[in-house]
Amino acid sequence: MVDDNGSIRTLSVDIGGSGVKAMVLDITGTPITERARVDTPSPAKPDVVINAIALLADSQGNFHRVSVGFPGVVRCGVTETAVNLHSDWIGFDFATALSQRLNKPVRVINDADMQGLGAIAGKGVELVITLGTGFGSALFVDGKLVPNMEMGHHQFRKGQTYEEQLGRTALQKYGEKKWNRRLEKAIASLQHLFNYDCLYIGGGEAVKVNLQLPLNVKLIPNVTGLLGGIALWRD
């Protein structure tokens, strides 16, 4: 399971509501291919998303194993929710299906959890939120993940959830200025709730954050969602 340099290659895949991205990481987690992207198929049913991943995989050369960040709750490779994809994902054994298709071992984790694994320092309370089609969240204590924390669908303000207030639909409807004001309120509310040492903000729309951020809040690039893929095999 090794290449000419004795290194295991991991295909890292990030499934989002608007795009599916992939690239190959070496054993240290360093990217060794260019990131490839295709639009998320619509309707985003399991078989067509698996086809899209297979297409991306073909463009990435040789790899030995696969890590996937999925935009919903994932338990033991089975997808339990998929608010921004399709209801056919509920109860779907994704890890097994993708492993059979690619003929490689596959591990699947929530997308925000994977992004967090690529971002955290591993000390203290670290919270990660992702701003994209949906609102992702991940919590770590001394580097240990509290899995599947679905803050996006939790009440935030005005009878709406974090995702309803800060997801891409709200950003497009209300514009960047209002969305940034909402985000500022969300950051304050999360600081009160978690008293985190550091909050990381990632996801495709993090580039639109235009705020004076507190010192313990950091923007992270969207590629972090793929970099976290190496951590899924650390055991």
Tell the smallest beta-carbon distance from residue 70 to ligand BGC (Å): 8
Q: Which is nearer to ligand BGC, 32 or 73 (CB)?
A: 73
Q: Determine the Cα–Cα distance for residues 27 and 81; give it in Å rounded to an integer.
A: 31
Tell me: does residue 84 bind ligand BGC (CB under 6 A).
yes
Q: Which residues lie below 8 Å from residue 11, measured CB to CB, with a gap of 6+?
A: 22, 23, 24, 57, 60, 63, 65, 66, 67, 102, 104, 229
List the x/- string, 131-150, binding to ligand BGC by CB under 6 A. Answer: -x-xxx-------------x
Burial readout 3-27 (b: 16 or more C-beta within 10 A, e: otherwise): eeeeeebbbbbbbbbebbbbbbbbb
CA R_g for the chain: 17
Tell me: does residue 112 bind ligand BGC (CB under 6 A).
yes
Tell me: does residue 225 bind ligand BGC (CB under 6 A).
no
List the x/- string, 55-74, binding to ligand BGC by CB under 6 A. Answer: ----------------xx--
- Chosen residue from 29, 116, 118, 152 binding ligand BGC by CB under 6 A: 152
Tell me which residues touch ligand BGC (CB under 6 A).
Answer: 71-72, 81, 83-84, 110-112, 130, 132, 134-136, 150, 152-153, 163
